[in-house]
Structure 1
């Protein structure tokens, strides 16, 4: 598959984070944030339909130093492998590629095969969600990973004791990569990789739901996610900025959920909610 690159030249890390959140609502599949630039990758065939809206979005944020370029056909696996470094989460979780050394004893690790699917763990939201997944109490529960990407969170949940996780994503590449990663981690019998949106699992009930997507999709799916939870079920959300916490919490409360905890990292936020939960807490990372 050939990709187009949107290169945005900015040293403003806050603006870069905001643009990642905004652009994630379009068919961009991955992002690379560097000190002086942000590069967003989109399948070349998907660009023309959304380019006018993306251009208007960038103008609105004053991101005028930018360009679209067509990526050369390349071995994405080799490029990914060359640039991928293991991700350490709070000294207790490690996300690595197969060519990296095994993790130290006592560290929960997730192996990610080189593909273009989003969710390698490098982004602050994935780190936040990984920490929540390890802490929220998934052992023995059946879960849903909505917008699963590479399947990092679904695999981690199983390694934290979850009985079974349905991993759902609308992207065919992500669905295949999640399936491969589950096999590479030895949990293929406990992670089902499914192609589709939340409607793909309509009628199923879960003890926990993980969703690291973007604000608008989370808000739109909130009633369905709440409905999918059993009484006392847990919902962990991320993919939005700290400034959007009141909006997301408000929509969750409208859906009958209770706010238990907020975590913040590098301007991004993650929430833990429950059906019949307890009073909220705040942790600054």
Structure 2
């Protein structure tokens, strides 16, 4: 499959994060940033339908000089191997690739080959979600969960490694689904993590003790009723993929659906919002 590489000049890492958040609403499959240039990759056959919207988004952000270049299919493993560094999350978890050395001194590690899928721990939102999943105050033992917009499957994998009985990992992208299956197998949790190709329409009739949704503001607001509908009483919904400024809108939507906001946490301008479904009186 051929891809289009969009190169966007950015002033600093903060602007790169903001632009990434906006571009994530389009079908870009991967982002990298180095030396003042954010690079976003999208399948060539999917750009035509959204290029006008992408260009308008960049104009609204005051960005000029972005360029599109068609690149033939490349060895994404080799590309990531040259750029992907291990990520440590609060001394409790290491997210690393298979070619990195193991860290037996840490309580938990997830081995991830990201290819073109989102979820290596480098982005603040994945880091925030992983920090919540590995918080010693949380106990996932024996619980059933959902990882919505699972990408590499890293969050589902971490939840399983922390004792979850089963996690459905749902993503709309075929490449992400394939990559998730590979990572689930490598981490030895194929019996507890089930990758599913699709969107929120798959959730009808399913029931979970916790839901993880690291997607983006618009999808969270639109699909939150479906997430809440799957939650058992007392179940938790953890949401990220949002900027700090999105917290009020996400929190208000959650409360309107009967959830209580139990915590919010920030990192580098990004946020995670943690919610709980009430237990109805008997």
Q: What TM-score results when the alignment is normalised by the length of structure 2? A: 0.95
Distance 1:264 1:137 in 2: 22
Distance 1:73 1:182 in 2: 25
Q: Do structure 1's residue 37 and structure 2's residue 37 form an aligned pair? A: yes
1:158-213 CA-to-partner distances (Å, cap 9, x unmatched) read 11111100000000111111111111000000000000012113111100000000
Q: State the Cα distance separating 1:114 from its structure 2 match.
A: 4.6
Q: Which position in structure 1 is the counterpart of 2:173?
A: 171
Q: List structure 1 segments (4+ residues) > 6 angstroms apart after TM superposition.
A: none
Which ranges of structure 2 fall in alignment gaps of 5 or more residues? Answer: none
Q: State the Cα distance separating 1:140 from its structure 2 match.
A: 1.6
1:240-282 CA-to-partner distances (Å, cap 9, x unmatched) read 10011000001111111110000100000001100028xxxxx
Question: 113-122 or 215-224: which moved more?
Answer: 113-122
Matching of residues 138-217 of structure 1 within 5 Å: 138-217=140-219
Distance 1:75 1:174 in 2: 16
Q: Which position in structure 2 is the counterpart of 1:242?
A: 244
- For the residue of structure 1 that corresponds to 2:122, the secondary structure is coil
Say whether the 8 Å CA contact 1:81–1:114 is kept in structure 2.
no
Q: Which position in structure 1 is the counterpart of 2:91?
A: 91
Q: State the Cα distance separating 1:65 from its structure 2 match.
A: 2.3
Say whether the 8 Å CA contact 1:11–1:35 is kept in structure 2.
no
Question: 30-39 or 241-250: which moved more?
Answer: 30-39
- Structure 1 residues 265 and 114 mapped into 2: Cα distance closer, same or farther (>3 Å)? closer
Q: Which position in structure 2 is the counterpart of 1:281?
A: none
Distance 2:108 2:212 in 1: 18
- For the residue of structure 2 that corresponds to 1:192, the secondary structure is strand
Matching of residues 1-285 of structure 1 within 5 Å: 1-135=1-135, 136-276=138-278
Distance 2:65 2:12 in 1: 12
Which ranges of structure 1 fall in alignment gaps of 5 or more residues? Answer: 278-285
Q: What TM-score results when the alignment is normalised by the length of structure 1? A: 0.94
- For the residue of structure 2 that corresponds to 1:49, the secondary structure is coil
- For the residue of structure 2 that corresponds to 1:259, the secondary structure is strand
Cα RMSD after superposing both structures: 1.2
Distance 2:251 2:114 in 1: 35
Q: State the Cα distance separating 1:106 from its structure 2 match.
A: 3.5
Say whether the 8 Å CA contact 2:128–2:267 is kept in structure 1.
yes
